[in-house]
Structure 1
Amino acid sequence: MLLSTWFGCGFFKPAPGTSGSLAALPIAWVLTELGGYQALAVATIIITAIGVWASNVHSQELLEEDPPQVVIDEVAGQLLTLLVVPPTFTNYLIGFVLFRIADIVKPWPANWVDQNIKGGLGIMLDDILAATYAGAGLLIALSWL
């Protein structure tokens, strides 16, 4: 439960997903500054893999398909979104907003995954797909700034 709630961030009301995304921002910055994009990419892959397992266990324990306190998916998605830009305040702010919008709206195929793929894989995959939209939107937005 510690990992799936990202060390308790998932218990922050009224927006546990937002708190998980916020918690990812300093992690992304530190990883990118200390180890470059490779470190951020490796961490994103590891957190995603752990997230499939941890969110599956947590959802089975609570007998819920996608418990709101499970936010490791938001952490992985936010990290993936930020993987495409240098670590600046503006980039991270825009990336944060775009990921939250994509995660809430869940454009296709993220909405299909959310409704049809169960367990830890479904919990994680819809956020990874939302992150791809957010990352693409971030690159487009930054090309205009």
Structure 2
Amino acid sequence: MGIFSDDAALKRLSLRNPWHFLALGFGSGLAKKAPGTFGTLAAVPLYLLLSPLPLFWYLMVTAVAVVAGVYICDRAAKDMGVHDHGAIVWDEVAGLLITMIAAPAGIVWLVAGFVLFRIFDILKPWPIRVLDAKVHGGFGIMIDDVLAGVFALGCLQLLAYYFA
């Protein structure tokens, strides 16, 4: 009994395939429990790599992650034969990058952003829940986490306004 899922749909994917590797959040989505949290955790080093960039370039990379994510997630879902399988966590990677737009530097703000994003991603308040249920394909996989990232971004910026 390992830490990685042995789900039959996952056997249709290969980490050697770059689309699958990205969709699985560099392999983090293979965790048996809480793959979304592990996917968000996998986004942290990427965020730390991107955070020193000027805001314009950070936004450009984040936009590419979101737009490319529609294809990445759609491709993996089709290859698995399962819509929005829990192991597909590129949407969490993009969601954290959105959350952390223009965030103050420091571990406290990173942890706050991480927690806020996970709260919105897990609870899926309106309209996130509606989009999650009604929109399908790669766009459907991405849109609920993009919106969770936007909600978390708003909360993080409010916290930064009052406490940074």
Normalising by structure 1, report the TM-score: 0.93
Local SS of the residue matching 1:3:
helix
Q: 2:161 & 2:60 partners in 1: Cα distance?
A: 26
How well do the aligned residues superpose, as a CA RMSD in angstroms?
A: 1.2
Q: 2:99 & 2:157 partners in 1: Cα distance?
A: 10
Q: 2:154 & 2:102 partners in 1: Cα distance?
A: 9
Structure 2 portions without partners, runs of 5+: 1-19
Q: 2:38 & 2:160 partners in 1: Cα distance?
A: 24
1:35-61 Cα shifts (integer Å, max 9, x gaps): 222222111111111210011111112
Structure 1 residue aligned with 2:74: 56
1:64-98 Cα shifts (integer Å, max 9, x gaps): 11111100000000000001312311111100000
1:39 aligns with 2:57: yes
User: Hey, which of these two has a bigger chunk of helix by percent?
Assistant: 1
Local SS of the residue matching 2:23:
coil
1:103 aligns with 2:121: yes
Are the equivalent residues in 2 in contact too, given 1:56–1:120 (CA < 8 A)?
A: yes
Larger Cα Rg: Structure 1 or Structure 2? 2
Q: 2:77 & 2:127 partners in 1: Cα distance?
A: 22
Structure 2 residue aligned with 1:88: 106
What is the aligned-residue identity percentage?
Answer: 37
Structure 2 residue aligned with 1:72: 90
AA aligned to 2:69 is G
Structure 1 portions without partners, runs of 5+: none
1:30 aligns with 2:57: no
Large movers: runs of 4+ above 4 Å: none
Q: 1:84 & 1:104 partners in 2: Cα distance?
A: 23
Q: 1:50 & 1:139 partners in 2: Cα distance?
A: 26
Are the equivalent residues in 1 in contact too, given 2:104–2:160 (CA < 8 A)?
A: no
1:143 aligns with 2:133: no
AA aligned to 1:143 is Y
Aligned residues: 144
